[in-house]
Amino acid sequence: MSSSFGKDDDLEQELVSRKDSNVSNLSNTSTASEVSESSTEGASRKTSHTSATSDTLEDKDHSVERVLYDSACDDAALKARFKDKWGIELKASFNPRRAKPITTDLPRGIEKITPYGVPICLAGYELDYQGIRYEREKFIYAAPRQDDGTAVCVGCTERADCCNRSTQFGRTITVSFDTLPHIDPNEPPMAKRFKAIMSRRPSVERMIKRLKCDLGDERLSKRGNESFQAYLDKTMIAYHLLIRHLH
């Protein structure tokens, strides 16, 4: 994986991850390597890739506060290392790993809860995440709204077995932290803030597409790291010249 810096009005300056296997620096674009989604060597390989980027990260401006990675690096130990070693917050797409949908000991009217922490009711609606009651250690969910602002529960055919309330707000449920032990209550992937932060990653994936498909790096094969890196650098130079010409 590699990463590029980005600035947003609402979010701190971030390091957004993208797939690659090298470290390169060119103009105002900075990159850092990362283990791929298909990694099977666990934390040891993640640590190896992290060590390879230490010099790059330490050279970056101290205004960088956050790094975005894919789900392969959704690891508590790796996040702690980023924080302790560089003072950088590591955010990764949520990885439920081997967690399965939960179908037992659920609130009334709930068919299952997905590994991503989303309850689905008997009528097939996904309940919206509302927040957390930390003192009771529970996640809060509510029925989704229709276009007129009323809950989908109002005219639901499963209402008798789920929610008998006559109000327009519909069903609200709480789910214990123990029911979703694989979800960190301090960083729930269902939260709007988490989704807003991770929405920065798709933009850099489009950059990968341009390099691979439009500029010919998809079938890149070079012997040796230096030759491979040199070819990537030429592609990046070509890309910057193209952008400069178009603008």
pLDDT band at 61 (very low <50, low <70, confident <90, very high): low
Q: Where are the beta strands (DSSP E) in the chain?
A: 2-6, 14-18, 25-26, 29-30, 66-69, 89-92, 110-113, 119-121, 128-133, 138-142, 172-176
pLDDT band at 65 (very low <50, low <70, confident <90, very high): confident
Q: Within the chain, what is the greatest distance between any pair of CA atoms?
A: 70
List of residues 6+ apart from 129 with CB closer than 8 A: 117, 118, 139, 140, 141, 188, 190, 191, 192
pLDDT over 50 at 35, yes or no: no
Q: Which of 28-32, 217-221, 237-241 has the highest mean pLDDT?
A: 237-241
Both structure tokens of 184: 């960190």
Q: Which amino acid is at 237?
A: I
Q: Which of 11-15, 102-106, 197-201, 202-206 has the highest mean pLDDT?
A: 102-106
pLDDT over 80 at 3, yes or no: no
The pLDDT, as a whole number, for residue 18 is 37
pLDDT tens-digit series, residues 132-184: 999 999 999 999 998 888 888 888 888 888 876 656 778 899 999 999 999 99
What percent of the chain stands above pLDDT 70? 70
CA distances in angstroms from 58 to 53, 66, 85, listed in the order given: 9, 13, 9
Residue 179's SS3 state is helix
Tell me the CB-side half-sphere exposure of residue 152, using CA atoms within 13 A.
16
Q: Which of the pair, 29 or 206, is modelled with greater confidence?
A: 206
Give the C-alpha separation, 37 to 5, whole Å: 21
The pLDDT, as a whole number, for residue 56 is 58
The pLDDT, as a whole number, for residue 25 is 32
The pLDDT, as a whole number, for residue 5 is 36
Helices (H), 64-151: 76-86
